[in-house]
Structure 1
Amino acid sequence: MTDTNTIGLHEASASQLAEKLNHLLANYQIFYMNVRGYHWNVKGPQFFELHTKFEEFYTDLLAKVDEVAERILTLGHKPVHAYSDYVTLSRIAEDKDVHDGEACVRGVLEGYQTLIELQREILALASDADDEGTAAQVGDYIREQEKTVWMLGAYLG
């Protein structure tokens, strides 16, 4: 009997990674809904610019939700899919009734910073487990989101 899964990773490592990826999935889902809300509710002189930018962000976040869930399945585990689980597992809190443009941008900035922090934790675990697939996925996310964090910081001055 082997202790590896179908893609050749040790089951204990795959299980630990899947658990962390489920936490990441929860954060992506809550963050996605926050950004969706910013898109719907933003007001002020930067409305047109921010409304369009928030749509770009939430479209990308939704794609990543699916990719993270599929990675959990690839590891041989089950992605959480109940919103109540997302609220419990997420470090990102629901952001309700926000409409000020600057406050919305700050919410996006903080959300990406949280995702980067979580993804770095997963990157370290994936590297220790020789899980190149997960490491490459979150590494790509980190690179992309670090640039977004820089740009959002520059926008806020």
Structure 2
Amino acid sequence: MKLNSIGLDAKKSENLSKNLNVLLANFQRYYQNLRGIHWNIKGKRFFDLHVKFEELYNDANLKVDEIAERILTLGGVPLHTFEDYMAKATVPVGKNITKDEEAIRLIVESLSKLLLLERQILDHAADASDEGTSAMMSDFISEQEKTVWMMKAWLTEEI
């Protein structure tokens, strides 16, 4: 087994980098969705939601950077073109969303897809003894599960 410079199996790190690039592409689409709903939201809940969406897109932007830097740490190259993001992302595209409930449902659906990807990466990271990636995924998962719960509560829907 060949080890990389941080002591992990090089092949497993390469596979993790590929999976993290898929997550990166999905986070970039999620980020763009959040920007769009932040800009376009209308209605009586505008003030509260406008601020909340800004909070969420700032957080997503930080996570994009963390994911890209983890890919680099593992020896990979982070995707960085919209073409790559569009080819790899499965998070839905939210276009011209102005209604509060539609925006919140987009966030819940997007986070649900991100959580699935993160759990897969968490499993692969555990198999590779990659504590750095495992810790990052665990942090992302716990934060996003709470956000989904809060969004579902706002929608008055059960988890």
Shorter-chain TM-score category? over 0.9
Q: Distance in 2 between matches of 1:80 and 1:29?
A: 10
Structure 1 segment 101-112 matched on structure 2, within 5 A: 101-112=100-111
Please give the TM-score of this superposition, normalised by the length of structure 1: 0.98
Identical-residue share of aligned pairs (%): 49
SS in 1 for 2:149: helix
Runs of 4 or more, structure 1, over 6 Å off, are none
Q: CA deviation at 1:132?
A: 0.3
Q: CA deviation at 1:45?
A: 1.1
Question: Which residue identity is paired with 1:134?
Answer: T
Q: Which runs of no fewer than 5 residues in structure 2 stay unpaired? A: none
Structure 2 residue aligned with 1:154: 153
Q: CA deviation at 1:38?
A: 0.3
Q: Which runs of no fewer than 5 residues in structure 1 stay unpaired? A: none
Structure 1 residue aligned with 2:53: 54
Structure 1 residue aligned with 2:74: 75
Which stretch shifts more, 105-114 or 116-125?
Answer: 105-114
Q: Distance in 2 between matches of 1:43 and 1:138?
A: 33
CA contact (8 A) 2:41 2:99 kept: yes
Is 1:4 paired with 2:20? no
Structure 1 segment 107-126 matched on structure 2, within 5 A: 107-126=106-125
CA-based RMSD: 0.7
Please give the TM-score of this superposition, normalised by the length of structure 2: 0.96
Structure 1 segment 15-94 matched on structure 2, within 5 A: 15-94=14-93
CA contact (8 A) 1:87 1:93 kept: no
